[in-house]
Amino acid sequence: MKRIKIALIGTGYISNYHIRGLMTIPEVEIAAVVSKHLRNAKKFAESYDIEKAYSSIIPIIKDTSIDAVIISTPNVFHAPYAIEFLKNGKDVFLEKPMAMNTEEGENICTTAKETKHLVMIGHMWRFDEDAKFIKQSIANGKLGRIFKTKGYGIHENWGPSGWFIEKKLAGGGALADMGIHAIDTIRYLLGDPNPVQVYAKITTNFGDYDVDDTAIILITWDNGTESIIESGWWQPHMDGPEASSAIFGTKGYASLFPTFLKLKKGEASEQLISKTTRKKEHCDQLIYTRQMQYFIECIKTRTQPSPGLKEGLVTLKIIDAAYASAKKRTVINL
């Protein structure tokens, strides 16, 4: 069995979920870890018994034995790092958002196509069993024609610090951090339609920073569905946990987190509860493990991942359009 050598770029909170997922795959070898601060890289390497720790990506670029990288850095480094690794023969897993803006995302796409290497984007809710249950119910026509959805990406009484609240490092605030989960989840549930219009109201209400902590977005998809997306940090209340979604159809209603169907029966309704595996926590390790297992399978079969370039680029276009809409106070046509 050929060993697939992986390097982790970044040692933040999410990197722990990625490496725990990778460690379940027998043919994977974690070859190295990189952090801006060498002490963090060494600490992470010691925790997971990784041989090499660096403070620069240069040794990883030069190491021809490394097959792929997992990039979990501040957003500002996503595009330049991804492009450099692709040009040097490595497949890339990128945490969301794939880049700071659409232009950077398109540059990644161009490089990936030119080098014929793989890019996967960390939209992990596509690997959740409840999300798949709702997606299949919609695809099977149980809800009829979907005319409206609502999705949430909100932190209640909490918000991040550090690079997340610096526009030059993150590109955006709660919308880029949390709203992106709600956007991609709804798009996944609906069968990945394309956006045609975006209208948004975006504000900062809770902190002294140059990014947003509150956003309300209306997306019109090319299948005619209208989607309301709410994102936020430090909100006094949230209508549901991260990626919680409500789907309204002509034959019924579906809820994701909590997950159930409510189907019309004449003037009454019948409720069906999802019987998927119980998770230990909302953003459960199992989701990230499935995500990493899928990425490694794509490497072995040389198959372009989904979520990949297209999925990552569509969410970027929506986020860019939302910021433009809020600034110009008008609908943005895509």
Residues 91 and 226 in one domain: no
This prediction has a pTM of 0.96
Query: What pLDDT was estimated at residue 274?
Result: 83
Query: What pLDDT was estimated at residue 167?
Result: 98
| CATH for 208 | 3.30.360.10
Query: What pLDDT was estimated at residue 268?
Result: 84
Query: What pLDDT was estimated at residue 275?
Result: 81
Residues 181 and 326 in one domain: yes
**Taking Cα atoms as reference points, which of 21, 282, 260 lies closest to residue 154?**
282
Residues 234 and 182 in one domain: yes
Query: What pLDDT was estimated at residue 279?
Result: 82
Residues 23 and 159 in one domain: no
Q: How many domains does the chain have?
A: 2
Query: What pLDDT was estimated at residue 280?
Result: 84
* pLDDT, tens digit (0-9, with 9 covering 90-100), for 81-118: 999 999 999 999 999 999 999 999 999 999 999 999 99
Query: What pLDDT was estimated at residue 36?
Result: 95
Residues 134 and 262 in one domain: yes
Query: What pLDDT was estimated at residue 1?
Result: 63
Residues 319 and 184 in one domain: yes
Residues 137 and 104 in one domain: no
Residues 173 and 249 in one domain: yes
| CATH for 292 | 3.40.50.720
What residues in the chain have per-residue pLDDT under 70?
Answer: 1
Name the residue range of residue 227's domain: 125-280+315-333
Residues 20 and 90 in one domain: yes
Residues 97 and 240 in one domain: no
Residues 154 and 255 in one domain: yes
* pLDDT, tens digit (0-9, with 9 covering 90-100), for 110-119: 999 999 999 9
